[in-house]
């Protein structure tokens, strides 16, 4: 008896595109963190324009300039206001029927530098971080770069599990 091997070709995303966020009020003025929780920092009008432009550019890339008829996208977004606003503007460039899904994912958020950051205190803390080492220094009431690495690594493991479990859904898609 001759047994034929079946090849198991898994469908994986064609691309994974990472977008941080458009310009935020915190990017423009660091003192915003002293009065507004980090997750509530909004985009500036310029940041909204950047997100709109990014959406148009992403649409062009994933549709291969309009030559690719079967593309789809799946979005992961952090729970921060500025990232959700960025996604909202990007999403305006993507036809709804092309979107497989959207998931809020807290593991892809910004590094946590602590609660309501006072400028002088943060300056002293960042100087201390330089002496101890940027990667392992943990901000008071916040996290270290090593902490960020660990949670992002955990997210990437979940991403690959999502791709593996939903391989048919990911056919011809960009993430």
Per-residue pLDDT reduced to its tens digit, 68-114 = 888 899 999 999 999 999 999 999 999 999 999 999 999 999 999 88
Contacts of 95 (CB under 8 A, 6+ apart): none
- Active-site residue, 60 included: no
Which CATH number is associated with domain 25-174?
3.40.50.1240
Distance CA 102, CA 71 (A): 16
Q: Between 59 and 175, where is the model more confident?
A: 59
Catalytic: which of 104, 105, 110, 143? Answer: 110
pLDDT band at 7 (very low <50, low <70, confident <90, very high): very low
Contacts of 121 (CB under 8 A, 6+ apart): none
CA end-to-end distance (rounded Å), the chain: 43
Helix, strand, or coil here: 43? strand
Token reading at 34: 């002293």
Contacts of 75 (CB under 8 A, 6+ apart): 87, 90, 91, 99, 101, 102, 103, 175
- Active-site residue, 110 included: yes
**Tens digits of residue pLDDT in 9-41:** 567 888 889 999 999 999 999 889 888 999 999
The pLDDT value given to residue 3: 41
């Amino acid at each position: 008896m001759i047994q034929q091997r079946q090849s198991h070709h898994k469908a994986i995303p064609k691309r994974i595109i990472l977008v941080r966020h458009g310009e935020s009020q915190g990017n423009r003025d660091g003192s915003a963190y002293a009065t507004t929780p980090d997750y509530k920092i909004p985009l500036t009008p310029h940041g909204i324009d950047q997100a709109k432009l990014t959406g148009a550019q992403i649409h062009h890339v994933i549709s291969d300039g309009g030559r690719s008829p079967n593309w789809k996208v799946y979005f992961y977004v952090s729970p921060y206001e500025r990232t959700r606003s960025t996604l909202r503007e990007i999403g305006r460039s993507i036809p709804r029927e092309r979107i497989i899904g959207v998931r809020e994912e807290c593991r892809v958020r910004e590094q946590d530098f602590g609660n309501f950051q006072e400028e002088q205190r943060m300056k002293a803390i960042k100087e201390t971080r330089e002496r101890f080492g940027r990667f392992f220094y943990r901000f008071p009431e916040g996290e270290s770069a090593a902490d960020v690495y660990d949670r992002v690594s955990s997210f990437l493991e979940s991403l690959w599990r999502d791709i593996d479990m939903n391989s048919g859904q990911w056919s011809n898609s960009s993430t």
